């Protein structure tokens, strides 16, 4: 990756993510002190029913409370996550998706939880504390923590990843500077195996709106950037759609929090 693309990602981390965290507060700061008392399954293999595995796994109660809105089992199925895969949670923050992936890929799989260092420094280290607590005592044995800016090739070998996911982050990557989008996507493209998938969810924005302030993005921006980065558009889903959201309010509005209209896109690196 060219130096200017990497620098662009670091600029985004410094500016956009700082604004995001200042606005959203503890959106991903799950506490392990409110952990579910249900025993973890001996194998995390979907065994055929990932939803049941997520319900019975030793996940934080706050995580389970969010499942109805975030539909993690359906997302993993749509993105093609299977036991034994190598996966990455891009901009993992507190690690909600990281833990879902941990259950989904099982003991023979691997999950990289990637966070830009700036994200771990903000708000008195809120996300650093959350992800540290989540991974304490080697609790999620198949998770590797990666505190590094993309492309993070020293920790995540290029061409080694089956599925990467970023949840509600791409709008901040692109809104600060549209040129950052393709560089970010190319960094993810680099880590994927041929045929690998990049799953993206984000808050839907309207063309012409102040989407940077609203923390939204029109879906076609992602699709255009993805094609420029070499991806094919492999699938789209309306599983996180909310028709009551007209895309004019900031996503942290109390009337919308957790129930924004979101797109779900599956990008694929050609074989």
Q: What percent of the chain has pLDDT over 70?
A: 82
Cα–chain center distance at 237? 16
Mean pLDDT value across the chain: 87
Distances (CA, A) of 203 to 217, 218, 231: 6, 8, 21
DSSP 53: H
Res 48: pLDDT: 57
Confidence tier at 123 by pLDDT (50, 70, 90): confident
Tell me whether strands 161-167 and 192-203 are parallel, antiparallel or unpaired.
parallel
Q: What is the pLDDT of residues 189-247, one digit of tens each?
A: 999 999 999 999 999 999 999 999 999 999 999 999 999 999 999 999 999 999 999 99
**For position 93, which CATH number holds?**
3.40.50.150
Mean pLDDT over 25-36 rounds to: 45
Res 220: pLDDT: 98
Contact present, 168 and 257 (Cβ < 8 Å): no
Q: What percent of the chain has pLDDT over 90?
A: 78
How many folded domains does the chain comprise? 1
180 phi/psi in degrees, rounded to 5: -70, -30
| Residue span of the structural domain in which 103 resides | 3-268
Where on the phi/psi map is residue 239: left (φ > 0), alpha (ψ -120 to 50), or beta?
alpha
């Amino acid at each position: 990756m060219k130096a200017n693309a990497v620098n662009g990602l670091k600029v985004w981390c410094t500016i956009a993510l700082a604004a995001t965290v200042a606005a959203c507060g503890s959106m991903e700061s799950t506490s392990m002190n409110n952990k579910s008392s249900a025993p973890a399954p001996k194998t995390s293999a979907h065994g055929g029913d990932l939803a049941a595995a997520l319900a019975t796994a030793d996940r934080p109660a706050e995580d389970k409370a969010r499942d109805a809105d975030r539909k993690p089992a359906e997302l993993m199925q749509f993105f093609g996550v299977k036991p034994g895969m190598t996966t990455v949670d891009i901009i993992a923050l507190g690690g909600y998706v990281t833990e879902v992936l941990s259950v989904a890929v099982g003991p023979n799989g691997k999950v990289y939880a990637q966070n830009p260092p700036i994200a771990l420094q903000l708000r008195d280290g809120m996300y650093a504390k959350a992800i540290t607590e989540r991974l304490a005592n080697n609790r999620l044995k198949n998770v590797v923590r990666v505190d590094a800016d993309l492309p993070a090739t020293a920790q995540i070998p290029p061409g080694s990843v089956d599925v990467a996911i970023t949840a509600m982050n791409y709008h901040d990557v692109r809104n600060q500077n549209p040129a950052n989008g393709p560089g970010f996507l190319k960094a993810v493209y680099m880590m994927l195996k041929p045929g690998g998938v990049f799953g993206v969810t984000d808050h839907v924005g309207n063309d012409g709106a102040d989407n940077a302030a609203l923390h939204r993005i029109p879906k076609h921006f992602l699709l255009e950037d993805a094609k420029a980065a070499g991806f094919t558009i492999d699938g789209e889903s309306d599983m996180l759609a909310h028709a009551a959201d007209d895309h004019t309010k900031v996503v942290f509005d109390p009337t919308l929090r957790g129930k924004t209209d979101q797109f779900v896109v599956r990008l694929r690196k050609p074989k």
